[in-house]
Amino acid sequence: MALLTKKDVSLISDPLADNNPITIQVLGICSALAITAELKASVVMAIAVMFVLGMGNVVISLMRNIIPSKIRIIVQLIVVAALVIVVDQVLKAFAYELSKTLSVFVGLIITNCIIMGRFEAFALANGPWRSFLDGIGNSLGYGLILVIVGFFRELLGSGTLFGFAILGDPITKTGLYATGYENNGFMIIPPAALIVVGIIIWVQRSRTPALIEDN
Amino acid sequence: MNTDKNVYTVIFAGIMVVVVGSVLAFVASGLSSRIKENERFEKQQNILYAMGVNENVEDGGVSFIGTDVVEDEFSKYIKKQLVIKGDSVIDNNEAYLIDMKRQLALYKKGETPELPLFIGEKDNKIYYIIPMYGKGLWDAIWGFVALDDKMVVQGVFFDHKGETPGLGANINQRYFMDDFTGESIMQDTRYSGISVAKGNNDPLNERKDDNKVDALAGATITGNGVSAMILESVNLYKDYLTKLRKS
């Protein structure tokens, strides 16, 4: 028997394209706007969300038959907050440098609607293994958009990728800057992320007409 | 099982709170000694970083000295740790553990704060290192500034709790911190601090006599927070700095 059935594979692959959490489900937009000025921050956030969503989905899925429906949102919130805090504490004790890098993301992860969204929409109704795959798939889809947005914002806004100068030095005017090219300061600020996400949605919908709703 | 009953909901909530609470308490108390030690090393690393005791290489990122040697290096380079309280100045080898947040709160209530000041010596040069604490856009920012006896900055270190990644969070990057070196915290005889300025047309920070460094694009409020933090710390310490100053 294959480790992943066809349905399992689609749990991972669907969120990458036709059921992308950011561009289709419109979940996790806030953090996509906030932290994509640099590619490095995008990657770190994507990995952190993958971890929390994968684990959280499993925990919620295991508890799905005993959670009282009236307080299920609070229970979900407690699970994700506790998970993030435990991870943060363990990192602080054993990988202090890493925890410093991640600490600014902790608050963003707890309040990330993609996490509550997947708990609510998937983990409450499915088994742990499939919930885990759903968590990984959705965080990959989320991370993919973050990386694309981060790539364009850092390249066009700062002329660098992962902090390395790609287009030359804007101050001493070398490389592309010698021809009169300037960094676009607008790409640095959060509204630029909205525009890049908008363009991604536009491209995606024009390639897959089935995604367009009838009016 | 009927999970919709009120009794069940209340019992579930109660158990959940107890379980999660004990797990968190267990983790926190089990790890607290290690975390405290890491935080202590970090403070020593930060103070040494400001006076230039670090492992930075040309064009590299921020690189502290290792945690395995930091305690020895700290006692080697930091010759004196002072606590300034009003007019009294006493030696205290644990001055670096003083929480600036609490001292600033005392100061704002009109009480006399206990202010730590570190005197470092490297290559026969004396550094006066003062701690700073302030607020950025989202949360706390802090740092250390190392001065010589002419009140010229020899090095700074900044850090933050939760500034925006990619924007304000970059105050702890070298391309921002290195700009402060060589700036004076004084304008003539006035303690003016150093402001993080937009549009001062000096991106390479070649003018060292203007009390200004080039701001980070997209991080106006964090930058203003840094300016305010430096000014506030300098004001707190100015009586003592005046005694040290040699023109």
Using the predicted structure, report yes or no on whether residue A1 has a pLDDT greater than 60. no
Evaluate whether B162 touches B139 at the Cβ level (below 8 Å): yes
Using the predicted structure, report yes or no on whether residue B230 has a pLDDT greater than 90. yes
Task: Please tell me which of the candidates A38, A85, A189 has its beta carbon nearest to residue B24.
Answer: A85
Does residue B139 belong to any structural domain of this protein?
A: yes
pLDDT of A7-51, one tens digit each? 888 888 888 878 888 888 888 888 888 888 888 888 888 888 898
Using the predicted structure, report yes or no on whether residue A209 has a pLDDT greater than 90. no
| pLDDT the model gives residue A207 | 87
Q: CA B103, CA B198: separation in Å to the nearest integer? A: 31
Which of A72, A78, A171 to mutate to test binding with chain B, by most B CBs within 10 Å of its CB? Answer: A78
Cβ contact, residue pair A188, B167, below 8 Å: yes
Q: Which of A91-100, B126-135, B200-209 has the lowest mean pLDDT?
A: B200-209
Task: For chain B, report the end-to-end CA distance as a whole number of angstroms.
Answer: 82
| pLDDT the model gives residue B133 | 94
- Tell me the mean pLDDT in the region A172-176: 82
For all residues of chain A together, what is the average pLDDT?
86
Using the predicted structure, report yes or no on whether residue A160 has a pLDDT greater than 90. no
Give percent of chain B above pLDDT 90. 39
**DSSP three-state, residue B150:** coil
Task: Please tell me which of the candidates A45, A100, A189 has its beta carbon nearest to residue B218.
Answer: A189
Where does the pLDDT of residue A2 fall: very low under 50, low under 70, confident under 90, or very high at 90 and above? low
- Spell out which residues of chain B touch residue A107, defining contact as CB-CB under 8 Å: 162
Does residue B117 belong to any structural domain of this protein?
A: yes
| pLDDT the model gives residue A99 | 81
Using the predicted structure, report yes or no on whether residue A189 has a pLDDT greater than 90. no
- Spell out which residues of chain A touch residue B140, defining contact as CB-CB under 8 Å: none
Burial class (CB in 10 A: 0-12, 13-18, 19+), A88: middle
Q: Report the number of distinct structural domains present in chain B.
A: 1
Instruction: Give the B-side interface with A, CB within 8 Å.
Output: 1, 3-4, 8-9, 12-13, 16, 20, 23-24, 27-28, 31, 34-35, 38, 41-42, 67, 159-167, 169, 203-204, 217-218
Does residue B31 belong to any structural domain of this protein?
A: no
Residue B83: what are its φ and ψ, rounded to 5°? Answer: -120, 120
| Residue B165, phi-psi category: left (phi > 0), alpha (psi -120 to 50), beta (remainder) | beta
pLDDT of A94-110, one tens digit each? 888 878 877 777 777 87
- Provide the residue ranges of all domains of chain A, joining segments of one domain with +: 21-203
Using the predicted structure, report yes or no on whether residue A192 has a pLDDT greater than 70. yes
| pLDDT the model gives residue A15 | 85
Using the predicted structure, report yes or no on whether residue A6 has a pLDDT greater than 70. yes
- Residue A198: DSSP 8-state: H
Task: Please tell me which of the candidates B3, B204, B217 has its beta carbon nearest to residue A188.
Answer: B217
| pLDDT the model gives residue A210 | 79
Where does the pLDDT of residue A119 fall: very low under 50, low under 70, confident under 90, or very high at 90 and above? very high
| pLDDT the model gives residue A147 | 93
Structural domain harbouring B116: 42-244
Say which residue the tokens 């394209």 belong to. A17
For residue B68, the Cα-to-chain-centroid distance in whole angstroms is 22
- Tell me the mean pLDDT in the region B124-139: 92
- Spell out which residues of chain B touch residue A41, defining contact as CB-CB under 8 Å: 165-166, 169
Q: Which helix (H) or strand (E) holds B23?
A: helix B6-50
Using the predicted structure, report yes or no on whether residue A181 has a pLDDT greater than 90. no
| pLDDT the model gives residue B61 | 81
Using the predicted structure, report yes or no on whether residue B247 has a pLDDT greater than 70. no
Using the predicted structure, report yes or no on whether residue B1 has a pLDDT greater than 70. no
Distance from CA of B88 to the nearest CA of A (A): 36
Q: CA A112, CA A135: separation in Å to the nearest integer? A: 13
**DSSP three-state, residue B142:** strand
- Spell out which residues of chain A touch residue B31, defining contact as CB-CB under 8 Å: 89-90, 92-93
| pLDDT the model gives residue B157 | 94
Q: Which helix (H) or strand (E) holds A161?
A: strand A160-161
- Tell me the mean pLDDT in the region B146-173: 89
One DSSP character per residue, B42-111 reads: HHHHHHHHHTT-S---TT----PPPTTTHHHHHHHHEEEEEEEETTEEEE-TTGGG--HHHHHHHHHTTS
Q: CA B196, CA B189: separation in Å to the nearest integer? A: 20
Which of B18, B26, B31, B32 to mutate to test binding with chain A, by most A CBs within 10 Å of its CB? Answer: B31
| pLDDT the model gives residue B141 | 94
pLDDT of B12-43, one tens digit each? 999 999 999 999 999 999 999 999 999 999 99
